[in-house]
Amino acid sequence: MLHDGWSAQVNDYALACGWTPDCQILITGDVAGGLYAFEGSSGSLIWQHQEVHQGGLLALAVHPIRSLLATAGQDGVVHIWDCLQGKIVESLSPGKGWAEHLCWSNDGSLLAIAISRRVYVFTIEGKEEWRSTEQPSTVSSIRWSSTNELALSCYGRVLFVEPINNKITQQLEWPGSLVSMVLSPNGDIVACGSQDNSVHFWRRSTGKDAEMTGYPGKPSQLAFDQTGRFLATGGSETITVWNFQGDGPEGSLPGRLSIHPEPISSLSFANSGPLLASGARDGSIFVWYVDNNGDGDLVGGAFVGDLISTVSWRPDDAALAVVNSNGGVEVFNFKTRN
């Protein structure tokens, strides 16, 4: 169940939020470049900065192990921050254009940055380790498939590279516009939301691919659960859940979670258990317990007023942070009855 925790307000459209690994701090960024650190349990403001990126903020990523944070913006700059102090520890300006995507490697030693048609990999100390060649179009998503292998998607393809060895490990092609990408936790399944209202996925081990069509909208919201069994997808008011266990999902019927009155705008699985949090454009949020078929039961819900831009589980899954387009920051305590 979702229980009231705390709420706060930031100055502009809250773009993203993230918890520090020790659950102590919730970081929130707004599109105008406001950056805020809230005390995780009380919501009291620890520090804030405005206009940390000229032109606006585009991405933030909290470090998976240490109390560090990376932000990226329209100025093409990436800052690495100390989450406790609110101080910049490194500033990187690797290339020209909008710095749009950030991704820490699983062990936190490397930071991948997507700027326009290139991807850059830096060490946590701020040393440039690698840069990609120019891709055919602007990079739409970056994910680490393992500690030293990075996936990058753009129009027409997904590329896997080992930055340290400067080696391309795999190239998957599809003549369509891939707008988002997620990987299963073991890195075998690559799923991409496509501009033409479909989800395209590949199994890397077999090289087989499939296309899931029939979405009324663009399914840019994608989330794998931590076992790699379920892929939840947006693209309409209904959440479509594909089950990758056994022979599926090809030829199988997906689970369908319907209750949001407007299209899904954010999806996130909990860190353990088949719990899915979903937010929609109308400001409704729900938590689902996903069953074996990919269908689900509601275990909690709330309404926070405006388009939900990010839902983020606290690392211990005992709370859920939700930020919206009106600058609202809401933290709900989450408990399940056994």
Region binding other proteins by CB under 8 A among candidate stretches 5-13, 38-46, 105-113, 266-274: 5-13
- Is the Cβ of residue 29 or residue 94 nearer to other proteins in the bound state? 29
CB of 169 to other proteins, least distance (A): 24
> For the chain, how far is it from start to end, CA to CA, in angstroms?
12
Nearest residue to 289 (alpha-carbon basis) of 304, 278, 302: 278
- CA angle 199–260–23, rounded 5-degree value: 85
* Residue 117 binds other proteins, judged by CB under 8 A: yes
Query: Could you say which of 155, 256, 289, 333 contacts other proteins (CB under 8 A)?
Result: 155
Q: Which is nearer to other proteins, 126 or 216 (CB)?
A: 216
Query: Is residue 72 involved in binding other proteins (CB under 8 A)?
Result: no
What number of CA atoms fall less than 13 Å from residue 34's CA on the CB side? 17
**Binding other proteins by CB under 8 A: which of 196, 291, 297, 316?**
196
Task: Give the per-residue contact string, 268-307, with other proteins (x = CB under 8 A; - = no).
Answer: ----------------------------------------
Applying CB under 8 A, does 159 fall inside the site for other proteins? no
Dihedral sign, CA of 51, 319, 3, 292? positive
Q: Could you tell me the smallest distance in angstroms from the CB atom of residue 100 to other proteins?
A: 8
Phi-psi region of 166 (alpha: psi -120 to 50; beta: other; left: phi over 0): left
Q: Give the nearer residue to other proteins in terms of CB position, either 160 or 215.
A: 215
Within 42-61, the residues that bind other proteins by CB under 8 A are 56, 58
Q: Which of residues 20 and 180 has its CB atom nearest to other proteins in the complex?
A: 180
Among 53, 118, 143, 218, binds other proteins (CB under 8 A): 218
Out of 145, 212, 325, 334, which residue is the one contacting other proteins (CB under 8 A)? 325
Contact (Cβ atoms closer than 8 angstroms) between residue 88 and residue 80: yes
State in angstroms the smallest separation of the CB of 36 from other proteins.
15
Count how many residues are written for the chain. Answer: 338
In angstroms, what is the minimal distance from the CB of 58 to other proteins? Answer: 7
Judged by CB under 8 A, which of 5, 6, 8, 13 binds other proteins?
Answer: 13
Task: Put the strands of the sheet holding 25-30 in their side by side order.
Answer: 14-19, 25-30, 35-39, 45-49
332, 323 Cβ separation under 8 angstroms: no
Sheet holding 275-280, edge to edge: 264-269, 275-280, 284-290, 296-303
Nearer to other proteins, 195 or 333 (CB): 195
Interface residue list for other proteins (CB under 8 A): 11-13, 15, 31-32, 56, 58, 74, 98, 100, 116-117, 137-138, 155, 174-177, 194-196, 198, 211, 217-218, 263, 325, 327
